[in-house]
Amino acid sequence: MSEPASRRKFLTRTAAGTALLSLAGCTKLSQKQWVSDLLGEVELLTRKAQRLFAGSHALAPEFHKSDIAAAFRANGTLLPDSTDYATHAANGFKDWRILVTGLVEHPLSLSMKALQALPSRTQITRHDCVEGWSCIGEWKGTPLATVLALAKPQEQARFVVFHCADNMAGADEPPSFYYESLDLLEATHPQTILAYALNERPLPIKNGAPLRLRAERQLGYKMAKYINKIELVSNLTHIAGGRGGYWEDQGYSWYAGI
């Protein structure tokens, strides 16, 4: 970029920055990509600061049985709209398989039965939706760290991507399946589990049957439901919109610790 061009850019941005004081200005600014990019830079600061305090092992608070909500609210997809899913559901998900692929030494294809045969963790935790509400439930599942240890991530692997069976696109649009991702630090956190039971019952369909993610230090949209594939990657740019998740592609922050 030539000098005058960058100066002009600086001046226009300064002027735009001043407009920030005007409220209409703020709403207008929200439409600009560079504004959301600039504000989004703060996400990195937030993540670094929170990691500084919470590290890799600080546990999310766990609660008592008496704290469990009478009805656990479900959000997002409540029933994946596909005949394939309906067939699996009718069959009690006996033939559902979870593939573990990508940058791993040992790719896996696990049945629900095989997954449930692995050591499990049970935790009563609070679910926080990005909308602002909270619910407490008891989850049982396989620690993701256990599954990853079996698959042995390669050295270049940085992120764990969860591919889901629920199509978020409309009927006449190309399919766009829900997906999410965590970095290895959050993925191997002791409370990060692949949950198959809620409140001592098989996971209900509206809550993500047969398998959903629990990442207890994150907001609800990170906790992918209806998982059928777990992929290890070195970066997220080549998947869907490239921002690491379905909601992230719509402008939500990838780091959802706040």
Partner 1 sequence: MAATMKDSSWGVRMGRLLGRAIGLPEKPYTLVRRHPAVVRLSHWLNAACLLVLFMSGLQIFNAHPALYWGRISNFDHPVLAMTAEDSPDGLKGYTYIGRHRFNTTGLLGASKNEGEQTARGFPAWITLPGSQWLAMGRLWHFAFAWLFALNGFFFAAWAVWRGHLKKDLLPTRQDLKALPQDIIAHVKLKFAHDGRYNVLQKLSYTLVIFGLGPLILLTGLTMSPTMDAAFPQLLWLFGGRQSARTIHFLCAFSFAGFFLIHMAMVVLSGTWNNIRSMVTGRYAISKDHP
Contact residues for partner 1, defined by CB under 8 A: 20-21, 23, 26-27, 30, 36, 38-40, 42-43, 45-46, 50, 53-55, 58-61, 63, 67, 69, 73, 126, 128-136, 216-219, 247, 250-253, 257-258
Q: Which secondary-structure segment (H or E) carries 149?
A: helix 144-151
In the DSSP assignment, the letter for residue 248 is G
Asked if residues 123 and 138 have their Cβ atoms less than 8 Å apart, the reply is yes
Nearer to partner 1, 6 or 14 (CB): 14
Q: Which secondary-structure segment (H or E) carries 89?
A: helix 83-90
Shortest reach from residue 133's CB to partner 1, in Å: 4
Nearer to partner 1, 42 or 114 (CB): 42
Nearer to partner 1, 186 or 231 (CB): 186
Examine residue 210 and say whether the peptide bond preceding it is cis (omega within 30 degrees of 0). Answer: yes
Shortest reach from residue 131's CB to partner 1, in Å: 4
Within 10 A of 69 (CB to CB), how many other CB atoms are there? 13
Shortest reach from residue 86's CB to partner 1, in Å: 29
Q: How far apart are CA 235 and CA 239, in angstroms?
A: 9
Shortest reach from residue 191's CB to partner 1, in Å: 9
Rg (CA), the chain: 20
Nearer to partner 1, 58 or 86 (CB): 58
